[in-house]
Amino acid sequence: MSRLFGTDGIRGKANRFPMDGITSFCVGQAITYYFKNEGQRPFIIVGKDTRISGPMIEHAIGAGITSMGGDAFFAGVIPTPAIAFLAKDMRFCAGIMVSASHNPYQDNGIKIFSGKGLKLSEEQEDVIESLVLKNRFSDLYLASRHIGNIFNVDDARGRYIVFLKQCLPRHLSIEGMKIIIDTSNGATCHVAPDIFTELGANIEVIHNNPDGLNINDKCGSQFTSDLQKLVVKAGADIGISFDGDGDRFVAVDENGHKLTGEQILIICAMTLKKDGKLKNDLLISTVMSNLGLRIACRKYGFKHYASSVGDRNVFNDMQRLGAVLGGEQSGHMIFLEHHTTGDGIITAIQLIASMLKEGKPLSELAAMTEIYPQKLINVEVRSKPDISTLPRVFDSIRQVESELGENGRVLVRYSGTQNLCRVMVEGPDDDMIQKHCNQIAETIRQSI
């Protein structure tokens, strides 16, 4: 099992392995060494979210880059998808984002993009991981005159905003639209208010005062109650909420109801199909997606493919199968016409564009997709053995599946970033699926 990389980069408790200063320094070295060996100029852009541990890890990575003869370019507090964009737009060999996404401030992480704005493949991660864990860079230290430098990218935010503004079709205007924005005290705290103000919206911003400790703290995409209440109170057209690093987006309609990722996907797919831009009439989601999405795809004539969990898997299947739209239940959406990775602000812009094109309130568009009740329990585990090797767990899952039949489903999987086993049960009745979910979760607790 990998000791560093999970489903979305490296992640862990800040100031503890692997998110300590020494390992971060080695990661900076390994990334620089890897891309130098690929024959690329070792210019690497580095961004971060607002966690208190961000500067420590950012500078450790920068020190590692420069010690291997690379130049580090610090972009400051900026969303993860901005680093993917800037890596490609400014011709860096790689981009590094210091963030633990929607996790609490105690955690941090490292996400790596190639110079094409793509997340690294598992094979590339394996090479970098091997370099870090072997830690043989002391044999490769350079003479002082070959040490790299650190620079600040002063126009990083401005470049990204210009890029985002181009994602709204020119014939559409959001002038005067009332929008409430929750930045989760995170990486979108500067960019999101600026972009929607420049596009002409009438905005109100909440949870936009980061102090290093309050990122994702009862706010943002994971906790939308404040946003839901304010949208109704202010009479807003839409509420938009981001996670800590800005690659995830959640919407709230004018009545204060939170939309699911499936509802957003269907709305945007419908608009693309009407515009003749839904390539192959294909929509990509993941195995975690609600049954309602599959039913809606059949209803509206979309082909559907379920990828493994993780936006990298969604992206890979989109490229392999020829799709331009894909996403996850959690709010990670990829619009390949605009970007190479999930971008919360782009998703918000595309959803608003759908509202404008259809001339309908968000609640009416959301009603196109019926969402089945779904329960999810995260069970803390000490290890992650194959579920099929656990007879009691396996039998419990099969029993529930038999009782649900075609009216529901069960998905049990390990988290790629935490020591958790996720138990998801879906079906027509809340009480019934809660009972089934509890049953499987308790069996896992007793077995692992």
Side chain identity at residue 33, one-letter code: Y
Cβ pair 56, 50 in contact under 8 A: no
Q: Which residues in 137-172 are b (16+ Cβ under 10 Å) and which e?
A: beeeeeeeeeebebeebeebbebbbebbeebbeeee
Distances from the Cα of 51 to the Cα of 78, 157, 182, 340, angstroms: 12, 18, 17, 25
- Coil, strand, or helix at residue 335? strand
Write out the two tokens for 168: 């709204």
Q: From the candidates 101, 114, 184, 221, which is the catalytic residue?
A: 101
Helices 156-165 & 80-89 angle (0-180, nearest 10) = 90
CB atoms within 10 A of CB 186: 31
**Cα–Cα distance between 441 and 168 in angstroms, integer?**
44
* Omega within 30 of 0 (cis) for the link into 18: yes
User: Is residue 440 within a helix (H) or strand (E), and if so which, with residue range?
Assistant: helix 430-447
Handedness of CA 383, 384, 387, 388 (dihedral sign): negative
**Order of strands across the sheet with 325-327?**
303-307, 282-286, 325-327, 333-335
Q: Where are the alpha helices (DSSP H) in 68-189?
A: 80-89, 122-134, 156-165
User: Annotated catalytic, 101?
Assistant: yes
Q: Residue 182: in which H helix or E strand, if any? A: strand 178-182
CB atoms within 10 A of CB 430: 11
Identity of the amino acid at 229? K
Catalytic residues, by residue number, are: 101
